[in-house]
Chain A
């Protein structure tokens, strides 16, 4: 890499100094306190330190300390002597950035710091890489085997831990939120959450069998419920006490893996059988009972959920051209669609009719399912694979590697270009480089 390590950081700090000092008088004229200017400087330096541009500066100058400790206002009132005893039990002196701010005091822990270090509650830790960790409970920081990143934080979990260090913990609440809201989307969300969910799966796998065991008595539905995870999670949530939503995700995940191994035809046939059983049950029930009618309505609603969910599953699997062909109404039906309709009609004939609406939704779902299955065999006649994808111009100019400079001379001879540049700042992979002169050649 270019050797613009320390010099770049020093240049940046000198520019910061120049700007701050030149603004001091103006700030005083405006009637602002020095504190405001110091705040600006502190925030600016903090942002620069966090960015990789100053990574080398951090490596060179703060190589000894792995932390930047930011103490809140309350610590500032105590006094620096107290801070020393609080932070470092060994009583070693703290040196770092002198900071006159009333709100935060920033210290860097020295090199000879002996691990483990007790960090009291309410402090913010910043690692050498710039990551910030807010510690709300007393922690003990030990040295990692590599010795570089001491972030094997043995966090003594309080009832409400707020450490932002662990990515799986932050991901888990995000996973928890979607399932309770719309029930039909549960079957889809596990598929989307599959990458992060395995992180939490080892923790919660023992709970899955118990969840499965509690499903059947809670939900009043036919025993074959494996392909209707949406109807089950809500009652299960109420019955389970500990982390129901994460269990729910685990159930859905287990069920979707089962789903994946099945054929769509099998799923469809199972749904039809369940529907038949429900229809028979409904018929067997005595008529004109409001409670039964309510149950029938609820069962019908549940059935609709399964249909919409099933159609969603089917539509997800199928190619876009042949999905919802019948529901759109405008596209002419192809041979594949006809076959799909025939299949649905055959099934319907076996079923002896379970209601007009049910039959229509069944035919549409089976139709799209059949169309999807059959269209997979057809090749795209439009040869879309031959298209040459041209890079969009906005994307072409959108890059992180930018050189901002001035040009002395730009020369072109046929397709050979020559660049004479000066006073430039280059940002590559987050790191910064500067040059006073740059000469380049390129062929267009």
Chain B
């Protein structure tokens, strides 16, 4: 089972909305929609692990930190994200991070 963490992304949210539409029109069952989401979890975890190869550095000030159920949640202010040549400045960002080293990844439904 893969982390359900990525359902709260643009891709994940749009998928959930699309599935909701199909459920509303009774084209699919909620159970089938859940299966789609589980398949999405696997696909996005695999894709991020295998198809993405870039590195980012960032620096900022930490506003809050929280560690609960092995999930870190940070809120940073005035952050600079730096890639090789580019720079992005963000006044406020929230980071939600699940344990990346856990082999037996449980269902982490995070919002």
- Chain B residues with Cβ below 8 Å from A19 are 15, 36, 39-40, 43
Q: Are B5's CB and A36's CB within 8 A? A: no
**How many contacting A-B pairs (Cβ < 8 A)?**
202
Is A376 on the interface with B (CB-CB < 8 A)? no
Q: Are A14's CB and B47's CB within 8 A? A: yes
Q: Are A396's CB and B63's CB within 8 A? A: yes
Q: Which residues of A, 403-444, contact B by the 8 Å Cβ criterion? A: 403-408, 410, 417, 419, 421-428, 432-444
B65 contacts which of A36, A53, A417 (Cβ < 8 Å)? A417
Q: Are A404's CB and B36's CB within 8 A? A: no
Closest approach, in angstroms, between the C-beta of B87 and any C-beta of chain A?
Answer: 8
Are A427 and B52 also in contact (CB < 8 A) when A39-B22, A404-B96, A421-B95 are? no
Closest approach, in angstroms, between the C-beta of B59 and any C-beta of chain A?
Answer: 5
Q: Which residues of A, 47-78, contact B by the 8 Å Cβ criterion? A: 47-48, 51, 53
Q: What residue in chain A is nearest B11 (Cβ atoms)?
A: A12
Is A240 on the interface with B (CB-CB < 8 A)? no
Q: Which residues of A, 13-55, contact B by the 8 Å Cβ criterion? A: 14-16, 18-19, 22-23, 26-27, 30, 32, 36, 39-40, 43-44, 47-48, 51, 53
Are A397 and B73 also in contact (CB < 8 A) when A3-B85, A40-B36, A403-B96 are? yes
B72 contacts which of A401, A402, A410 (Cβ < 8 Å)? A410
Q: Are A44's CB and B15's CB within 8 A? A: yes
- Chain B residues with Cβ below 8 Å from A18 are 43, 46-47
CA A2 – CA B17 in complex, angstroms?
A: 28
Are A435 and B100 also in contact (CB < 8 A) when A22-B43, A402-B8 are? no
B22 contacts which of A40, A402, A439 (Cβ < 8 Å)? A40
Q: What residue in chain A is nearest B81 (Cβ atoms)?
A: A2
CA A61 – CA B64 in complex, angstroms?
A: 40
- Chain A residues with Cβ below 8 Å from B106 are none
Bitwise, B62-90 to A at CB < 8 A (1) or not (0) is 11110000001111100101011110101
Q: Which residues of A, 104-124, contact B by the 8 Å Cβ criterion? A: none
Q: Are A26's CB and B8's CB within 8 A? A: no
Q: Are B95's CB and A405's CB within 8 A? A: yes
Q: Are A442's CB and B49's CB within 8 A? A: no
CA A23 – CA B43 in complex, angstroms?
A: 11
Q: Are A47's CB and B17's CB within 8 A? A: yes
Are A11 and B100 also in contact (CB < 8 A) when A425-B6, A438-B56 are? no
A-B contact pairs, 17 of them (CB 8 A): A14-B47, A22-B42, A23-B36, A39-B27, A47-B17, A48-B11, A51-B14, A399-B92, A401-B93, A404-B6, A405-B96, A405-B97, A422-B100, A432-B10, A433-B56, A434-B52, A436-B49
- A residues sitting closer than 8 Å to B (CB atoms) are 1-4, 11-12, 14-16, 18-19, 22-23, 26-27, 30, 32, 36, 39-40, 43-44, 47-48, 51, 53, 396-397, 399, 401-408, 410, 417, 419, 421-428, 432-444
A-B pairs with the 3 shortest C-beta distances? A406-B100, A47-B14, A407-B97
Given A15-B44, A397-B73: 10 more A-B contacts, CB < 8 Å: A2-B86, A19-B39, A43-B22, A47-B18, A51-B14, A399-B92, A404-B8, A404-B110, A408-B101, A432-B10
